[in-house]
């Protein structure tokens, strides 16, 4: 059994507590939160032991799940790693790249697991792609939702867009050459709606939009590549694939032919459609399970500190570019 504690028992922290209690190879030691009143409520609701200080919790653990506000990620992660604890840290990984570098280096020096909580990597809609080869030429991403005061202490780039930045970076095996970004504060003092166009060295372009002031919810990524178009709907757990058969003849098993494309008088290729409905699953439970599996097996975590840093780096560049532009008009 891996002894794990949770630091931070707010909106997201309570779900970490609940999910860690459900893992068969985990002993939830307890949690620490600076809000004593909230601690009492969480302790009663989930039957979890509240600790009076961070130090007292860390003394009893082998690993921690860090779910405090981003401004405190560095302090808590550093304290945990120095005590020899494995660390799961929610996104955004750190406030600055310097903090990220120091935490990554400390984890490596100590030989400890460091995993960053980019939860959409574990969304079943993404796994619905299966073994389909992904070689994007153009990516269109929308993550929009109605206004919710929670999370508005940071710009929408670090609150929502960073999810899709991470996914795009994982899909495109190339460096970013150019970023063009725009956005605006609407209901808060931080950026509420943003769009970023990322151009990669291999020619791929990703157009990413995030908004927390929309009249509906959407979490969707569309991937366009040679001979295929994929649509991944993270809300509906559905993946749709339109593709051109690679060889003349019958379409692949499991696909529905929707059109024929004549190559010459003798050969025909099929445009096919495939819709993959994935069963609903608990993405947070799966990412925490992956964290514990990494601790026990020694395999690399599915989302490394370097992954978290790279997504943070691009998010900060986008935010800086938008803020610089806004100074000219506000």
Residue 250's pLDDT band, with cuts at 50, 70 and 90, is: low
In this structure, how many other beta carbons lie within 10 angstroms of the beta carbon of residue 12? 18
Same domain, 135 and 251: no
3-state secondary structure 266-289: CCEEEEEEEEEECCCCCHHHHHHH
65-89 pLDDT, tens digit each: 999 999 999 999 999 999 999 999 9
Spatial contact of 285 and 124, defined as CB atoms under 8 Å apart: no
Same domain, 173 and 101: no
Burial of 222 (0-12, 13-18, 19+ CB in 10 A): middle
Same domain, 50 and 196: no
Residue 249's pLDDT band, with cuts at 50, 70 and 90, is: low
In this structure, how many other beta carbons lie within 10 angstroms of the beta carbon of residue 237? 19
Residue 281's pLDDT band, with cuts at 50, 70 and 90, is: confident
Q: What tokens appear for 158 in the block?
A: 């670090």
Same domain, 149 and 132: yes
Is residue 108 situated within a structural domain? yes
259-268 pLDDT, tens digit each: 777 776 667 7
pLDDT of 251 strictly over 70: no
Mean pLDDT for the stretch of residues 154-175 = 96
Is the model's pTM score more than 0.75? yes
Higher pLDDT, 229 or 263: 229
Mean pLDDT for the stretch of residues 220-234 = 95
Give pLDDT, residue 149: 82
Give pLDDT, residue 224: 98
Number of residues written out for the chain: 330
pLDDT of 128 strictly over 80: no
Mean pLDDT for the stretch of residues 26-44 = 97
What is the extent of the structural domain holding 132? Answer: 123-231+305-330
Same domain, 104 and 47: yes
Q: Choose one of 112, 145, 165: the last residue of a domain.
A: 112
């Amino acid at each position: 059994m891996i002894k794990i504690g949770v630091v931070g028992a707010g909106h997201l922290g309570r779900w970490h507590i609940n999910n860690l209690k459900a893992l068969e190879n985990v002993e939830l030691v307890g949690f620490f939160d600076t809000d004593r009143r909230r601690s009492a409520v969480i302790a009663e609701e989930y039957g979890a032991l509240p600790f009076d200080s961070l130090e007292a919790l860390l003394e009893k653990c082998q690993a921690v799940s860090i779910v405090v506000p981003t401004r405190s990620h560095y302090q808590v992660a550093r304290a945990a790693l120095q005590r020899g604890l494995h660390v799961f840290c929610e996104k955004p990984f750190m406030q600055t790249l310097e903090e990220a570098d120091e935490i990554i280096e400390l984890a490596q020096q100590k030989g400890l697991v460091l995993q960053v909580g980019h939860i959409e990597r574990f969304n079943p809609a993404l796994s619905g792609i299966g073994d389909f080869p992904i070689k994007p030429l153009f990516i269109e991403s929308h993550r929009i939702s109605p206004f919710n005061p929670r999370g508005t202490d940071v710009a929408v780039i670090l609150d929502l867009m960073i999810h899709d930045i991470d996914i795009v970076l994982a899909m495109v095996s190339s460096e970013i050459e150019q970023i063009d970004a725009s956005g605006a504060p609407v209901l808060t003092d931080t950026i509420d709606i943003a769009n970023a166009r990322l151009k990669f060295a291999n020619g791929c372009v990703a157009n990413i939009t995030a908004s927390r002031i929309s009249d509906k919810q959407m979490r969707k990524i569309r991937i366009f590549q040679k001979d295929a178009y994929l649509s991944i709907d993270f809300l509906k757990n559905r993946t749709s694939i339109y593709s051109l058969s690679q060889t003349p003849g019958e379409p692949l098993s499991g696909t529905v032919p929707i059109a024929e494309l004549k190559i010459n008088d003798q050969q025909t290729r099929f445009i096919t459609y495939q819709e993959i409905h994935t069963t609903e699953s608990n993405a947070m439970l799966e990412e925490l399970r992956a964290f514990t599996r990494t601790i026990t097996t020694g395999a690399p975590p599915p989302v490394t500190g370097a992954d978290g840093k790279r997504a943070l780096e691009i998010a900060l560049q986008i935010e800086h570019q938008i803020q610089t532009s806004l100074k000219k008009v506000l």
